[in-house]
Structures are given as structure tokens and as C-alpha cells.
Amino acid sequence: MGTAPPGLLSWQPRTLSPSHLNYEKLRKSTARKHQHSRHSKTNNVGVTTRRAHLAKWCSQSQRRFRDREYGKSKEGIISPLTLDPLNLPNRWKESGLPELVHRKVQHHRYVCCAADNGAVFSYADLGANGAYNSKDHEGNGSAVHAEGQTFVLRMLLFWKTLRTFLPNGKWWLDIERQHQRSYNITFTGAMSRLWVLVSPDKLIIGFAFTALVIAALSEITIPHFVAAMIFSAQKGMTSDFYNNAKLLVTMACTYGLFSGIRGGCFGIANQILVKRMREKLFFTLLSQDIAFFDAESVGALTSRLGSDCQQVSRIIGNDLNIMFRNGLQGLGAFVYLLSLSWQLALTTLGVCSLMWFLTRIYGRYQKRTARFAQDSIASANEVAEEAFSLLRVVRTFGTEKEEAARYSKWLKKLMEINFRQNIAYGFSTLSSCTLYHSTQVVALIIGGGFVMSGQISAEKLTKFILYSEWVVHSTWWVGDHWASLMQAIGASEKVFQLLDLPPSEQMTSGGLILPDVKGCIQFVDISFNYPTRPKARILQNVNLTINPGELVAVVGLSGSGKSTLVSLLLRLYEPTIGQVVVDGVPLKELDIKWFREQVGVVSQEPRLFSMDIASNIAYGCGGNIKQSEIERAAKLANAHEFISSLPDGYKTIVDNSRLSGGQKQRIAIARALIRNPAILILDEATSALDAESEHLVQKALERAMRGDGDKNKRTVLVIAHRLSTIRAADRIVVMTNGQVAEMGSHDELIKLDGEYARLTKRQLSTLAQ
Ligand SMILES: Nc1ncnc2c1ncn2[C@@H]1O[C@H](COP(=O)(O)OP(=O)(O)OP(=O)(O)O)[C@@H](O)[C@H]1O
């Protein structure tokens, strides 16, 4: 006994009723529902249509059984399956007649069986997703005894699938919902934006277009001279023949020369465009608020800079160039056609108009697909960037396959989009090719008639055919590059959207520059939510004053808002309520660039740039820093010794992974100290270090905090987890849940026996264990 088709063994006899077996009734009722659905425009149209087809299929199967046609025609293919007798309805066993049963399995899912004496021959499964599969008893292929209907059903399925990826099909609606974007750039919008980018190099663009016009016009004359040479040779007109030959050679050479100039100039214009676009985009991105980078991923942004800008480069270098050339040639050829025979010219115009109409539709399609394709590329890049930057974590956890799967999920999406693009391209090519050749056929048929009736000469008809081919060919090329241009515009939509972002207010507004910074910092009634989490209150009514030259330590549990306080002091975010005041001036009113120059920051995870150590230390100080100043800062940071022991000393190229945590930290301290900052912020600068490194870094920090060798004592804000490192602080601020819970010196807080005392005890007991 073979395997039963899915769903049949679970078939319950009690679900059968005479009405279920009445196919005519089923057909009529579904036809009625179908009619109703059409009128009421409900979503049931598809379901009832399929039910109607199913009912028809059932009744035809039944007829075929009766006629025994089934057994005859499909011998050898069908091997009837006997069902488990326990699960078989009695009427099947008793009737001895072929029966067709149907059963409603789910809301609109049917399984239909053709049965003869308990033998199941085939079934059709109308899936909930609308897929219509008719299969033989073993679930293989289509239902063998109803091939006529199966073809219809297959066509139905094909049409249904096709509809999903036609413009406005379900696939588009789904994907558009995923990539919701309000920004939409038009052709003219994109062109004017590009013009702004390339207009500083008008000369090169001018050269390119002049060369384009000369090359196009000389090329278009070539068929005329070819035909003239052939017919002058045929007529034995020697001088005409040689004159035409000379002109042909001149035109061919002119065409070659100016094509070269055109190609070169457009290529250069292209490079200029991409370079400017990338520069502008890069700067626009750098000018955004930090909150912008909380919402956008680095991988996606670099993809916009790379892949999307490259797509835009096609517009001028390739698409516009070819469209202009072919547009000009097509127009010239059409004028020539009109001079030969206006009737024939109009037939060519008709075909070209149709071709252009189809291309416009295809262009719109390409624009949409390109947008989604670029989004998928950006998402894939995001995954790749993340995986590469966290490669040590990936390797440690052995998640290479998972990361590869995450990456290939986006590649799969991209492939789906490309698949649709290619199908559309296939349709576009099909229509263009058909129309292309139909012009020649129509022109030959009509033109042949004209030649036979003596209205035009054979030479004219030959020229006509050559030039009409040119017109159609030009229309085809213009259309093809129009679609490609729309694709590039679609791909560049996000780039233009990003380019339109206004720079952060901090970058544009000036502000006060104080004669000198005393270092008095006040957090006045600060409450704060991160823009990406507007509902989570991170800081709540924080009031804190740090006096000039004071060393204040902020401690508290992880997540209590210590680093957020530092971010607000550096104005990386604006407080939701309240303000930060420096030396009596609200931070908002100060020139933020100048203010940041007065602050030295050493963070928990120092990041180094891929450049030499000296440049890393002097980072952000302009180009006037002397080697002696760099070395002095390195000595203060306890880094000079290890830097000098490296083979290339201060010229050693480093990055984030080529030095130990302690070494990186000391370079970061040197970077903070070289500015001789009035305010020093140490954000858990030693928390990730081992005992030896911590000792070295701590000594460097102490020296930095004291302002060794500097006239003024600097204001220092230390955030620390290890409470042993902040005992000497003038004041300790304890934060809990975004609020200042306690404040005082170490001894005062221990005496208070509150949160600080609890934290200290816990750390001491952990160390003792
Ligand atoms: N960029 C951000 N966007 C949204 N929420 C953030 C962001 N940075 C921090 N948070 C949240 O703000 C809260 C406070 O974070 P913060 O880094 O200020 O705490 P912390 O006290 O410095 O913690 P730790 O000692 O672990 O560094 C946390 O709940 C954190 O999840």
C-alpha cells in the first residue's frame, strides 16, 4: 500500500453529505458566490473563482471516469492506491462506482479525490495561499486524468504569480510597506540636483555636448552616403561615386574623432560628479546630530556613499550621453524620412510612439525596483559591516554560519528584486524587438507598393529602410537608457534624501567664545530622554554644580545615567528640560567647536584612527603641533616608554586592534592632555584594564588631574566603577535611576551609610573573596 495523499487519511466519513457530492450544486453555488463577490468587490473574488474552477474540474473528472477515458489514456501512469479500509467511507466500498468527493479542510482549502472502489486516483489541493496544485495519488505532479483543466489551473496559477510582480501587484505593496518612504524624486528634480553638482565644471560638460552633437550628426549622414555610393555605382556615375566616397570617409573620421572626445569628456564629468556627490554626502552625514547616528546604521550609510553614488554616476556618463546622442540622431533621421515620404515616416512614428510608451512604463518599474534593490544592498552591507567589526565576537561564539545566513537573507531579497527586474527587462526587450522589426516589415510592404506604383524610387525606399531602422533603433536606445536612468534615479533617491538633511544646528550657529575657561560647570534641573527612546526618561531633575578646579567623581549602578551626563556636557545631545551652564553661560550660547577644544575626554573604550601614533595623539589639534609637544603629552600619559620601544616609535601605524587596551588608553590620555584642557572628563577610563595597566594609567590620570606643570588646576569630572580610584575626589556624586541620590566626600558618604556606602562595601567584599 502506498502513501496516502496529505489530508486523506485524516478524512472523516461524517463530513460527507449528499450535498457535498453534488458537483452541479457546488458549481452553481460557487458561481453565485463568485458573482456576488464581483459585485460586492470583496476579497473573496479569488477564492470563489478558484472554487468555481474546482467544481468544474470535479464534474469533468467524474464524466471522464464514467466514459472510461481515464483508464485508456493514462495507462501506466496511474497506480491506484488503496486506502486504509478503516478510514474509508462505507459508500466508497459499497458503490463500486467511481465517485468524486470533496471536502472542505480549512476556510478555503479543498481536497478533491477521484475514487473508484476505494481507490484514489488523484486529488487537487487548493492551498490557503491560493496556489492550485493538482496531483496524482502519490502527490506527484499534476492530476493526470484532467490535463485539460490542469492546464487552465496552471495558467491561473501563473497569472496569479505574474500579477504579484506587475506594478501595483501584491509583492510591490508588501515591499513598499516594508520600505516606507515619503521622499520621491522626479526626473527634473534629479537633473537639477545633478546640474548643481557638475555645474562648476561647465567647460568639460560643454566640450562633451559639442563633441556629442558633431559625432551624432556626422554618424547620421553615413547611411545616406552608403546608399548614394551603391546607387551611383549601379548607375555608372563615377564622379558622384568618388565624391560620395570622400564624404563618407570624412564623416566616418569626424564621427570617430568626436566620439572619442565625447566619451572622454563624459567620463571625466562622471568622475567629477561622483566625487562631488560623495564629498557632499560625507560632509552632510558628518554634520548630523549624534541622535541621527543612533537611528542609522554605519553599514547602511557607507553603502549609500559607495554603491548608491556609483549608481548615480551612470546618469551622466552613460544614460544622458546615449539618450542625447540617439535622440539627436533619431530626430535627424526622422526629418530625413519626412523628406523621403511623409506617409512612410508617419508609420515609423506610430511604431516609435508605441515603443516609447512601453518604455515609459518599464522605466517607472525600474525606478521602483532600483530603490528597493539599493535598500537591500544597504541592509546587506549593514550586516557585513557589523560582522566584520565584531569579528572577534563572531569567532569566539562560532556564529560564522549564522552571520552568513543573516547576510544571505538580504542577498535573497536582492535576488528576488533582480529576478523581477530581469523578467520586466525580458518583456521590454520582447516588445522592443517585435516593434523594431515590425517597422521594417510595414515600411517594406507599404514602400514596396509605392515603388511598384512608381511613387518613389528603389533608391529612396532603400534610404528609407536604412533611416527608419535608425529612427527605431534610436527610440529603442533612448527608451533603454531612459529605463536605466530611471533605475539610477530610483537608486539615488536615498542619497538625495540624505543630501537634503539640514546640518545640525550646532554646526551652523556660531556662539560666544570666552576669553578663558575657569571650568565652572552647572547642570541646572536637567531631565533627558534619548531621541530614539522618547518614552524612557534617562535623567530626572539633575542639579549639580562643579566648581573650577574641583575633582568630582560620579558613581552609580550601571545604567544610572553617568555617561549621559557627560554627553550632555559635551552637547552631543540637548537636554529635554533644563540646561548646562559653563562659567555662567548656557552651553547653547557658546561656540560649541571652541568649547569642545577646551575639554579633554578619555572614554572607557578609546578608539584610535588608522594612522601613526603621533597623528593619533595630535588628533584635532590642527597641523601646528611640534613633536616635542606630542612627546610631552605622551610622557604625562605614561605612554612615551612603550611608544619609544616600538620599531617605528611615534611613526608606528596603529588602529583599534594593534595595541593592548592599556596602551590605547594611554594614547587616548595623551590625546586629551595635549590640548591642555581646562576641563578633563574621564569616563571609566580604567575599568577595562588589568592591574598593571591600571596602575600605569591611574598614575597618568592622577598627573593629568593635578594639571602637572600647568598653571591652572583643571576641573575634572570622573566617572568610575572602581570606587578605590576616586577616594581622593573633592566630591562624590552618587546617581541612581537618573537622579542624584547622594553627594559629598568619601568620608561623608561612608558616614551617611547610604547607597555609596553599600556600593563600597559590596566592592570590598568582592575583592576580599
Ligand atoms: N544612544 C542611546 N540611545 C538610547 N538609549 C541610550 C543611549 N545611550 C544610553 N542609553 C540608555 O540610557 C541609560 C543610561 O545609560 P548611561 O550610559 O548613561 O549609563 P551609565 O550609568 O553610564 O552606565 P555604565 O556605567 O554601564 O556605563 C541606559 O538605560 C541606556 O540603555
Distance in Å, CA 526 to ligand 1 centroid = 16
In this predicted structure, which of 5-9, 20-24, 55-59 has the lowest mean pLDDT? 5-9
Residue with the nearest Cα to atom 6 of ligand 1?
530
Q: What is d(CA 671, CA 655) in angstroms, rounded to the nearest whole number?
A: 15
Cell of 487: 533605475
Nearest one of 677, 513, 515 to 591, comparing CA atoms: 513
Q: What is d(CA 435, CA 472) in angstroms, rounded to the nearest whole number?
A: 8
Pick from 528, 557, 564 the residue to mutate for probing ligand 1's pocket: most ligand atoms within 8 Å of its CB: 564
Nearest one of 94, 93, 95, 90 to 66, comparing CA atoms: 95
pLDDT in tens, 190-212: 888 888 888 888 888 888 889 98
Residue with the nearest Cα to atom 18 of ligand 1?
561
Average pLDDT value for residue range 478-498:
82
pLDDT of 154 > 80? The answer is no
Whole-number pLDDT of residue 227? 82
Distance in Å, CA 573 to ligand 1 centroid = 13
Whole-number pLDDT of residue 485? 83
Distance in Å, CA 739 to ligand 1 centroid = 13
Nearest one of 719, 734, 634 to 674, comparing CA atoms: 634
In this predicted structure, which of 75-84, 264-273, 302-311, 756-765 has the lowest mean pLDDT? 75-84
Q: Are strands 551-556 and 731-736 parallel, antiparallel or unpaired?
A: parallel
| More confident of the two residues 39 and 101 | 39
Q: What is d(CA 295, CA 431) in angstroms, rounded to the nearest whole number?
A: 44
Residue with the nearest Cα to atom 24 of ligand 1?
558
Distance in Å, CA 196 to ligand 1 centroid = 42
Q: What is d(CA 30, CA 175) in angstroms, rounded to the nearest whole number?
A: 33
pLDDT of 118 > 50? The answer is no
Question: Rounded to two decimals, what is the model's pTM?
Answer: 0.63
**Side chain identity, residue 721:** H
Q: Which residue has the cell 561656540?
A: 591
Distance in Å, CA 297 to ligand 1 centroid = 18
Query: ∠399-400-402 over CA atoms, to 5°?
Result: 65
pLDDT of 496 > 50? The answer is yes
pLDDT in tens, 11-26: 333 333 333 344 455 4
| More confident of the two residues 45 and 227 | 227
Average pLDDT value for residue range 126-148:
39
In the DSSP assignment, the letter for residue 7 is: T
Q: What is d(CA 764, CA 768) in angstroms, rounded to the nearest whole number?
A: 6
State the helix-helix crossing angle for 400-452 and 342-389, rounded to 10 degrees: 170
Average pLDDT value for residue range 470-474:
83
Distance in Å, CA 558 to ligand 1 centroid = 8
Q: What is d(CA 254, CA 256) in angstroms, rounded to the nearest whole number?
A: 5
565 CA closest ligand 1 atom index: 18
Distance in Å, CA 657 to ligand 1 centroid = 25
661: burial class by Cβ within 10 Å (0-12, 13-18, 19+)? middle
Q: What is d(CA 538, CA 677) in angstroms, rounded to the nearest whole number?
A: 28
pLDDT of 538 > 50? The answer is yes
Which residues are near ligand 1 (CB < 6 Å)? 294, 530, 532-533, 538, 556, 558-564
Distance in Å, CA 294 to ligand 1 centroid = 12
Cell of 294: 543612533
Q: Are 702 and 680 in contact (CB under 8 A)?
A: no
Average pLDDT value for residue range 722-742:
83
291 CA closest ligand 1 atom index: 1
pLDDT in tens, 65-106: 444 333 333 322 222 233 333 343 444 344 333 333 333 333
Whole-number pLDDT of residue 524? 92
Average pLDDT value for residue range 670-682:
86
Average pLDDT value for residue range 573-585:
91
Q: Residue 528: pLDDT band by 50, 70, 90 thresholds?
A: very high
pLDDT of 548 > 80? The answer is yes
State percent of the chain over pLDDT 90. Answer: 5
Average pLDDT value for residue range 638-658:
83
Pick from 562, 566, 725 the residue to mutate for probing ligand 1's pocket: most ligand atoms within 8 Å of its CB: 562
Pick from 288, 538, 569 the residue to mutate for probing ligand 1's pocket: most ligand atoms within 8 Å of its CB: 538
Residues 6+ apart with CB under 8 A from 53: 132, 149, 152, 153, 156
Q: Residue 527: pLDDT band by 50, 70, 90 thresholds?
A: very high
Beta bridge partners of 546: 521
738 CA closest ligand 1 atom index: 14
721 CA closest ligand 1 atom index: 25
Distance in Å, CA 90 to ligand 1 centroid = 71
Whole-number pLDDT of residue 20? 39
| More confident of the two residues 722 and 528 | 528
Contacts 24+ apart (CB under 8 A), 200-204: 201/269, 201/272, 204/265, 204/268, 204/269, 204/272
Average pLDDT value for residue range 46-60:
51
Whole-number pLDDT of residue 174? 62
Cα distances (angstroms) measured from residue 454 to each of 97, 228, 458, 467: 76, 20, 9, 20
533 CA closest ligand 1 atom index: 4
- Looking at every residue in the chain, the average pLDDT score rounds to 74
Cα distances (angstroms) measured from residue 586 to each of 568, 580, 582, 714, 716: 12, 6, 6, 20, 19
Residues 6+ apart with CB under 8 A from 489: 185, 187, 190, 315, 367, 370
pLDDT of 113 > 70? The answer is no
Whole-number pLDDT of residue 254? 92
Highest average pLDDT, of 276-290, 384-398, 631-645, comes from 276-290
Q: Residue 31: pLDDT band by 50, 70, 90 thresholds?
A: low
In this predicted structure, which of 106-110, 191-195, 225-229 has the lowest mean pLDDT? 106-110
Whole-number pLDDT of residue 575? 92
pLDDT in tens, 334-344: 888 888 878 77
Distance in Å, CA 564 to ligand 1 centroid = 6
In this predicted structure, which of 44-53, 320-329, 476-485, 717-726 has the lowest mean pLDDT? 44-53
Q: Residue 62: pLDDT band by 50, 70, 90 thresholds?
A: very low
Beta bridge partners of 59: none
Query: ∠411-417-423 over CA atoms, to 5°?
Result: 130
Q: Residue 218: pLDDT band by 50, 70, 90 thresholds?
A: confident
pLDDT of 181 > 80? The answer is no
Whole-number pLDDT of residue 493? 80
Average pLDDT value for residue range 667-677:
86
567 CA closest ligand 1 atom index: 18
Average pLDDT value for residue range 421-444:
80
Residue with the nearest Cα to atom 30 of ligand 1?
559
294 CA closest ligand 1 atom index: 1
In this predicted structure, which of 190-204, 401-415, 420-434, 707-721 has the lowest mean pLDDT? 707-721
Residues 6+ apart with CB under 8 A from 616: 608, 609, 654, 667, 671
Q: Are 296 and 532 in contact (CB under 8 A)?
A: no
Residue with the nearest Cα to atom 2 of ligand 1?
530
Distance in Å, CA 735 to ligand 1 centroid = 13
Residue with the nearest Cα to atom 12 of ligand 1?
538
Distance in Å, CA 660 to ligand 1 centroid = 25
H-type alpha helices, 146-289: 147-165, 170-178, 187-198, 202-234, 238-286
556 CA closest ligand 1 atom index: 21
State percent of the chain over pLDDT 70. Answer: 72
Q: Which residue has the cell 566625487?
A: 275
pLDDT of 565 > 50? The answer is yes
In this predicted structure, which of 313-322, 462-471, 592-601 has the lowest mean pLDDT? 313-322
Q: Which residue has the cell 492551498?
A: 127
Distance in Å, CA 527 to ligand 1 centroid = 14
Collapse the DSSP code of 106 into the 3-class scheme (helix H, G, I; strand E, B; otherwise coil) and give the result.
strand
pLDDT of 364 > 80? The answer is no
Q: What is d(CA 287, CA 279) in angstroms, rounded to the nearest whole number?
A: 12
Whole-number pLDDT of residue 130? 35
Q: For the chain, give the number of residues.
A: 769
